[in-house]
Structure 1
Amino acid sequence: MVSEPEASESGAGPSSARDFDDPVVVLGVSCDPAEWVLNDSTRDHVAKHGVIQNENLDFTPSRRLYADKARVLTKHLFEKENFNGEKQKRSYLVYSQSKRVVFCTPCRLFGGKSQLAESGFNDWKNGTARLNEHERSAEHKSCVLSLKSRACTLGRIDERLSKQLSDEIQYWRSVLKRVVAAVKALGTRGLAFRGKDDRFGSTHNGNYMMMFEFLSEFDPFVAEHIARYGNAGKGVPSYLSFATCEQFIQLMADNVTKQILKEAKAGKYYSISVDSTPDSSHTDQLAFILRYVKEDGLPVERFLRFIPNPGHKSEQLAEVVLTTLKSYDLDIANCRGQSYDNASNMSGHYRGLQARILERNPLAVYIPCSAHSLNLVGKHAAESCNEACAFFCLLQYLYTFFTGSTHRWEILQEHLSSVPHTLALKRLSDTRWSAREDACRSLNR
């Protein structure tokens, strides 16, 4: 490989046609564009020194048969005639001797998707028309600007500063790649991110920082970054803070929501399920869940969002549900089911949420939540004064529920045979009756 020549006197890279095809210029890369390794070194080299167009080679091997006659590449294709009659050099065009086609240099180097960028062009009969179309395309113009910008950057007197800036950008991109990987790992497994404090080295800093501490033992890049920026405090960017973490969580949540809506709209018909519960800060939140059938035929349930403090009246809940569906561009007319608890504001036949949805769409069938129904049966059974009546009510519901499936009935029999006998009724949870196993044991005598 011949050593690289000095840059042109102007130092501005390939700013003219001569810069691209001067036979004196000897490239440190292959003269055949089909053999180029498309990386930053090749782009920098071509941007700084230009290319040899190979227009003086023998074009006989490029012969192509048409219905009327055979045609080959000619030198005329390397020139274009403007509307005013002026001829201009196509300095971007390069002939590939191995492929017997021509390539567009900027488009090939900067990720163009046209034939001139990927496989090469050899339609010699329509060459002039196709090249004119290519030159007017937005993709070609963008790639030419990228090449010119790179050439100007490489030819600047502050090239070292520019390279330092490029290295700095690459450094922080490497940091952000690891941040994204950590957020994905914790988010997909539903693990908590934050701990009691936000300092590296603490045993209470949470899973997010713990993961970076673990990586630092095997990744020198992470270890050096934590040593330099880990506990630098406010005003010093590290991209390891929870502010950055939460921004990535939000971005990922937005992408997941877009995918859920894409699948739901592809399936067209859907069902909804909503329920409210207070969080740790005692703020009442409405969970909005969508159920639909994917293209492979499997039904899935997807959580969409929490809606804070929507209110408990049926008209307030109906407004929130309809507004949420509208915000996601989901037509209420395509709703085929709705499932809520047994509270009157949700299940009421005349003024409940399900009745208000049915007014908008009579096909949205209401299905009571079975878990809430079981909770109500157990709650009333435990509060009853007559133990025999209580046991009968519970047994009647369980028999109806479990005998509907042989598998569920076998599980119930196996469970009852292993539960020890007791005579005392236990107080039930008001919201999660099924979670009180000791209350179930007291009824099994």
Structure 2
Amino acid sequence: MEEDLTSPHRKAEKACEDLMNQQSHISQSFDKFTSKEVADNRLRLKSSIEATRWIAFQGCSFRGHDESITSTNRGKFLELLSFIASYNDKVVEVLDKAPRNASYTSPTTKKQILQVLAAKVKNVIREKIGDAKFCIIVDEARDESKKEQMSIVLRFVDKDGYVQERFFGIVHVKDTAASTLKEGIFSVLSRHTLDVQNIRGQGYDGASNMRGEWNGLKALILSQCPYAYYNHCFAHRLQLALVAASKEFIPAHHCFTKLSSIINVVGASCKRNDQLKAAHASNIAHLLNINELESGKGLNNIGSLQKAGDTRWSSHLKSISSLIKMFSATCEVLLNIIDDENTPAQRGDADAAYEMLTSFEFVFILHLMKKILEISNLLCQALQLQSQDILNAMHFVSSTKFLIQNLRDDGWDELVANVKSFCEAVNISMPDFSAQYIARRGRARHQQDEITVELHFKVNLFNAVKDSQLQELNIKFNDNTVEFIILSSALDPREMHNAFRIDDICRLVQKFYPKDF
């Protein structure tokens, strides 16, 4: 009688036999390896691990443009392996005799090694945190492959009482919606058995999807972790309040747009940049000869126009200062382009840039913004110091408000005098401040009140930009945030050397952490 191979019972028996045969085959394969082959494979793997670890610590790329055997530069990983082998004949031998399926140099192997190293680092960080409370710092950006990546940093106090910040990983997210980011954060934390209820702080940038009061990431996390208070970085928040508020003010926004356009025209080629430096050097020599410029080491360096960056707020001050410093040289380069360039489009761009550059309103706003950014820049540099304590930081914020208010109340005459002196030096005509102001670009028919030119510049520009900045500062640093930060400073060990502020600690507990104590 023939055996029924289609019955369920026989199928199960056949599967068991195949599994046993497979296990027997794997066992036999391992037994076939000699001790020398095992040692060679371990040496190959160790070399790859060391090369991978070194490149990862340096933050360098692994792959090369051409990794073929005939290439003169096969990329950092393979070249580093070759360098290691050059000092060890045994490594040379095992790498040269490595079979293709056991060379341990494939991209997959490198990724697996990196994943093992990353897992070990995360485990060490997790052990240091233990059951303690911690804060999360999150940011997101696109990588080169256009994938949205979210980075997570954990901030905690270790067993020795020192504050630690540790990068914990990068997570790919499908979009930047607050709910998506929250799911990604909670998934990483739960995967490493970190209780989300232990979150005691959130740190993000000022984007609306992060700081939104109702649907932002901070609000979604606060709904589940009531003590995960959100505080924006002081230095970044201060710059956002001053620079961003200025850009929301239309004349100031136009000034930054014109500034960028002028710098792009002048710096469009190496030839123009060389002309700019030569003109600036000639101008410095002339001023030194007539004793209108102070001489000294490092005072009159020949530089170039600086571009302002969207995320590096201090670059706006550098950009404005460089243009004011090289104003005459910039005018000279633009006039040369208008006279010498053969392309009508280039002459047209230079002519438009020259008209913008030599207008009194542009020069006035340029000096106004320089004055404002000088106030904020010193304070932002101080706020970024690692040794800065919380109370000093709050005093810096208060002093910023005071200086801006003081500039609004008493700085008008000084600013006008500086602008007038500058315009006389660069041959820009000053408007008659007592004359009636007439709005341009068709806005005159909407002008209801008859105001003078001086009143326009003082009220519509000078006072208006100061008021918007003071309002923005009061919003960014509201009373509740300031109180929370000041009360938290009572927990700073440096403060306890002076006085144990028991009243502030009790107030902090009662208002912000009632369930923790």
TM-score (norm 2): 0.44
Q: Closer, same or farther in 2 for the Cα pair 1:421/1:164, shift >3 Å? A: closer
Question: Which one-letter code corresponds to 1:381 in the other structure?
Answer: S
Does the alignment pair 1:169 with 2:38? yes
Paired residues of 1:276 and 1:285 also in contact (CA < 8 A): yes
SS in 1 for 2:82: helix
Question: Which one-letter code corresponds to 2:117 in the other structure?
Answer: M
Paired position in structure 2 for 1:243: 108
Does the alignment pair 1:258 with 2:101? no
Paired position in structure 2 for 1:277: 141
Q: Closer, same or farther in 2 for the Cα pair 1:292/1:211, shift >3 Å? A: same
Paired residues of 1:347 and 1:355 also in contact (CA < 8 A): yes
Paired position in structure 1 for 2:226: 362
Paired residues of 1:283 and 1:308 also in contact (CA < 8 A): yes
Does the alignment pair 1:210 with 2:79? yes
SS in 1 for 2:125: helix
Q: Measure the CA separation in 2 of the matches of 1:245 and 1:287.
A: 21
Paired position in structure 1 for 2:154: 290
Q: Measure the CA separation in 2 of the matches of 1:338 and 1:202.
A: 49
Q: Measure the CA separation in 2 of the matches of 1:173 and 1:287.
A: 34
| 1:129-168 paired onto structure 2 within 5 Å | 165-168=34-37
Shift of 1:313: 2.3
Q: Measure the CA separation in 2 of the matches of 1:200 and 1:270.
A: 49
Cα offsets for 1:38-81 (capped at 9, x unmatched): xxxxxxxxxxxxxxxxxxxxxxxxxxxxxxxxxxxxxxxxxxxx
Shift of 1:358: 1.5
Q: Closer, same or farther in 2 for the Cα pair 1:208/1:349, shift >3 Å? A: same
Question: Which one-letter code corresponds to 1:199 in the other structure?
Answer: S
Correspondent of 1:179 among 45, 48, 65: 48
- Structure with more of its chain in strand, by fraction: 1
Paired residues of 1:193 and 1:207 also in contact (CA < 8 A): yes
Paired residues of 2:41 and 2:102 also in contact (CA < 8 A): no
Shift of 1:335: 0.9
Q: Which has the higher contact order (CA 8 A, sep 6+)?
A: 2
Does the alignment pair 1:342 with 2:209? no
Question: Which one-letter code corresponds to 1:245 in the other structure?
Answer: K
Shift of 1:325: 2.1
Question: Which one-letter code corresponds to 1:342 in the other structure?
Answer: G
Q: Measure the CA separation in 2 of the matches of 1:212 and 1:427.
A: 41
SS in 1 for 2:79: helix
Paired residues of 2:147 and 2:172 also in contact (CA < 8 A): yes
Does the alignment pair 1:351 with 2:215? yes
Shift of 1:188: 2.1
Shift of 1:252: 0.8
Q: Closer, same or farther in 2 for the Cα pair 1:341/1:263, shift >3 Å? A: same
Does the alignment pair 1:223 with 2:103? no
- Provide the aligned C-alpha RMSD in A: 3.6
Cα offsets for 1:402-443 (capped at 9, x unmatched): xxxxxxxxxxxxxxx978799x99763334434567426353
Paired position in structure 2 for 1:144: none
Q: Measure the CA separation in 2 of the matches of 1:251 and 1:299.
A: 27
Q: Measure the CA separation in 1 of the matches of 2:320 and 2:123.
A: 43
Shift of 1:378: 2.8
Paired position in structure 1 for 2:176: 312
Shift of 1:366: 0.7
Q: Give 1 or 2 for the bigger CA radius of gyration.
A: 1
Q: How many equivalent residue pairs?
A: 254
Shift of 1:172: 1.0
Q: Closer, same or farther in 2 for the Cα pair 1:215/1:436, shift >3 Å? A: farther
Q: Measure the CA separation in 2 of the matches of 1:387 and 1:162.
A: 77
Q: Closer, same or farther in 2 for the Cα pair 1:431/1:299, shift >3 Å? A: same
Cα offsets for 1:197-238 (capped at 9, x unmatched): 223563332221111111222211122234334xx7xx4431
SS in 1 for 2:161: coil
Question: Which one-letter code corresponds to 2:224 in the other structure?
Answer: R
TM-score (norm 1): 0.50
Shift of 1:379: 4.2
Correspondent of 2:193 among 329, 335, 338: 329
| 1:96-115 paired onto structure 2 within 5 Å | none
Q: Closer, same or farther in 2 for the Cα pair 1:431/1:201, shift >3 Å? A: same
Paired position in structure 2 for 1:302: 166
Paired residues of 1:382 and 1:426 also in contact (CA < 8 A): no
Does the alignment pair 1:433 with 2:313? yes
Question: Which one-letter code corresponds to 1:341 in the other structure?
Answer: D
Unaligned runs of 5+ in 2: 1-29, 257-296, 323-369, 375-417, 419-517
Paired residues of 1:200 and 1:209 also in contact (CA < 8 A): no
Q: Measure the CA separation in 2 of the matches of 1:384 and 1:420.
A: 34
Q: Measure the CA separation in 2 of the matches of 1:162 and 1:344.
A: 62
Question: Which one-letter code corresponds to 2:145 in the other structure?
Answer: S
Paired position in structure 1 for 2:497: none
Shift of 1:255: 0.9
Cα offsets for 1:11-45 (capped at 9, x unmatched): xxxxxxxxxxxxxxxxxxxxxxxxxxxxxxxxxxx
Q: Closer, same or farther in 2 for the Cα pair 1:211/1:439, shift >3 Å? A: same
Paired residues of 2:308 and 2:315 also in contact (CA < 8 A): no
SS in 2 for 1:239: coil
Shift of 1:181: 1.7
Paired residues of 2:143 and 2:149 also in contact (CA < 8 A): yes
SS in 2 for 1:366: coil
Question: Which one-letter code corresponds to 1:332 in the other structure?
Answer: V
Cα offsets for 1:161-192 (capped at 9, x unmatched): 97971211111112212222222222222222
Q: Closer, same or farther in 2 for the Cα pair 1:305/1:167, shift >3 Å? A: same
